[in-house]
Structure 1
């Protein structure tokens, strides 16, 4: 069972820190770290941290987190570690040791998921994005990406999910189950502000299990917002952006604007 203190930290996005004093005995980790493990944290790796601390990264309920063992070994700090310039050191450790490897291993799952192609088949850059038909930020993301898609530089692959509203699943299945899913996606995009694509029960019957499989994949990856977008950077490493990308993230994702 998760302690109320740790649960509040997770729900708050790990933006604050707390001290957890340990009393449990450990086999592989210090007692303070064992306390977190007993509360449901899976420890993935450790690293040298500033101030003589030992840093750890792990996951809980599908969410990545960093925590730091104090030099005396008696306490663990759960939260975000900043340097004197305000740089988020925790995020870098989580990306390198948890999210990077996790999303790299998940790339084949994205490729074999149920997605709608949006853009040229021979585009140099392929971007996967979890899209809910009722998501306003997914709609805006597609608008942002239009110059790259229209220029043939980026192919957006919409992994259709239905999580936001009661008719999200049926709309997603209508698009996926269409004879031409790409055309159906464009139709939905063009009519989004008027309610989007009209639900077709025959198409829903054909594709609703595919949408449910996409929902499960999103959950398994610990993604909690749409759009959640994954791409390979210039070094070939898989990166992930949750929510609407800012202009800088969009350039990193898609390259110079055409």
Structure 2
């Protein structure tokens, strides 16, 4: 793992890193030492590790919760190269959306394609970050909406070091089997008027999670309109389950 020079402001230190060919960012409280919870933060489709929402949420988690927070570019996103296969999949998806077709199965296929690479990458990043003095071997959590949820469900199912997750804005297509293996506490966010994910699909994914400690927060609004108070809810959720 290689780091660039850190920058600090408002009590938070930000460091970009690469692990092999995986580019990422780590946020920690300024001058942090010793073990602390680490939150892995997945971004949405077409976004990247430093999308404005990711940065704002990560900085708040570090400043207010004392957490370490890491984000990486998902495969074929951000600084990552895009393969011909990914271009073919996304072109078919866009064509279906433009034609007004139900693209749920195509979207699930794309997410499965990405998760096959993203899950082992996240596990490798988690292992490397826990070697740092500012992170240590404390508990880990995961936050991810939309595509971040699609990659997060199989990750949380496969990774025993993750003890809690905030997921949502996605339907059950392609995720039922992985969701049935998620047994950690989950806070699930659903937008009641989501124009991209049918409400019944989101509720079906929540129902498919095996976690006995799962909680559903439903808010009015479209796909990308999660209200700001949900960031505070997520921070308190992680504080309860990881500290």
Alignment TM class, shorter chain as reference: under 0.3
Larger Rg: 1
TM score, norm. by length of structure 1: 0.27
